[in-house]
Amino acid sequence: MKKIKVGILGATGVVGQNYVKLLVDHPWFEIVDVAASKRSAGKRYDSAVEEKWLMDIEIPASIKSKTVRDVRDYDNIPAEVKLFFSATELDDKQATREFEFEYAAKGYPVVSNSSANRWTSDVPMIIPEINPQHLDIIPAQQQTRDLPKTGFVTVKPNCSIQSYLVAIHALREAGFAIKDIQVTTLQALSGAGYKGLTSEIMKDNVIPYIGGEEEKTEREPSKILGTVSETWIIPEQSIQMSALCTRVPVVDGHTAVVHLNFVDDAPSLETIQEVWNNFLGEPQALDLPTAPKPAIVFQEEADRPQVKLDVQNGRGMAITIGRLEKDKFFDIRFVALSHNTVRGAAGGAILTAELLVEKGYIERP
């Protein structure tokens, strides 16, 4: 297929740089527009990034000389752009919400990493293996907001919940209802962006608090696991969730220690492992380019998963699970790991865009 021309909003930040890295050789998408704040607008991309380029590859030759567009400069959007990936966070959440819908109103699909529209009732918050059916809300979003037939907003959820929520969904899908979840996350420095990666206080340190993270962790799964009505997404209210979120001195990779109680008798550990080993999500069934195969990697070694050994599983898109055990106070516990800036950010959004293409919401050339 001819490649779909895309733009990146917030292209100079850590998530934006990951978009550049992951999209430069993508079989379906081609970057033709990079946009950022007024501070970077008008500069060559390599000049705008300068010493803040944090990827493990050189700035791609096809991108480094591109002129950075001001994200608010709608008049100079290249005519061939058909899709925007957004890593933009404006001064406040309301401004970001409106900003994303301004692009949608001009006929562009927006796949966003921002938290601003995650709880907008007609905006699907997608983990493609869990809730692809939530994309069915898009026509209602377009009708309610009088958007062009090509314009809409979708979002990806908080990066840390993606390390374990696919595993929980797989168990629910297999018929094992869950009533309680307690999770402690050990989150990488890159989750705090450039400031996190360069902060002196975060080096050789564990910080037992991340502002707003526990609230997101406890709330967002209910929408992802919810159901679609005619006009909005109804959150799932049957699961109680408690979270403690910490920042740890690793660069990439969010680890989660998860404790679960089931509604009925707990399945055996062998059954749970079988469910995870056999799980097949819609991205895998559709053979989407970014879909990890398998989606869940189960490690039987007692000391796995480890960030250094497992964060790149499935090219950074797989969920890796280990330490599955019975627990004294809960039915089971396990440890899960995902790559926060790939699976949890740019890569997860790219997988959502692939799903949108496959389902006809983004037109192929």
For residue 203, count CB atoms less than 10 angstroms from its CB and return exposed for 0-12, middle for 13-18, buried for 19 or more.
exposed
Sheet strands (E) in 169-253: 178-187, 227-228, 233-234, 240-247
Six-digit token pair at 338?
A: 């995902």
- Our answer to whether residue 159 is catalytic in this structure is yes
| From 159, 169, 245, 339, the catalytic residue | 159
Six-digit token pair at 180?
A: 């309680």
| Cα–Cα distance measured from residue 78 to residue 11, given in angstroms and rounded to the nearest whole number | 15
Of 65, 67, 53, give the one whose Cα is nearest residue 21: 53
| From 134, 169, 254, 339, the catalytic residue | 254
Left if phi > 0, otherwise alpha if psi is -120 to 50, otherwise beta: which for 305?
beta
Q: Are strands 109-112 and 83-86 parallel, antiparallel or unpaired?
A: parallel
| Cα–Cα distance measured from residue 312 to residue 118, given in angstroms and rounded to the nearest whole number | 27
- Our answer to whether residue 254 is catalytic in this structure is yes
Place of tokens 């990936």: 85
Counting DSSP H helices and E strands in the chain, the numbers are 12, 14
Of 184, 232, 226, give the one whose Cα is nearest residue 208: 184
- Residues 238, 243, 132, CA angle at the centre, nearest 5°? 55
Say if residues 295 and 279 touch (Cβ distance below 8 Å): yes
Encoded amino acid at 97, one letter: R
| Cα–Cα distance measured from residue 5 to residue 43, given in angstroms and rounded to the nearest whole number | 21
Q: Is the dihedral of CA 270, 272, 275, 279 positive or negative?
A: negative
Which residues have a catalytic role annotated?
159, 254
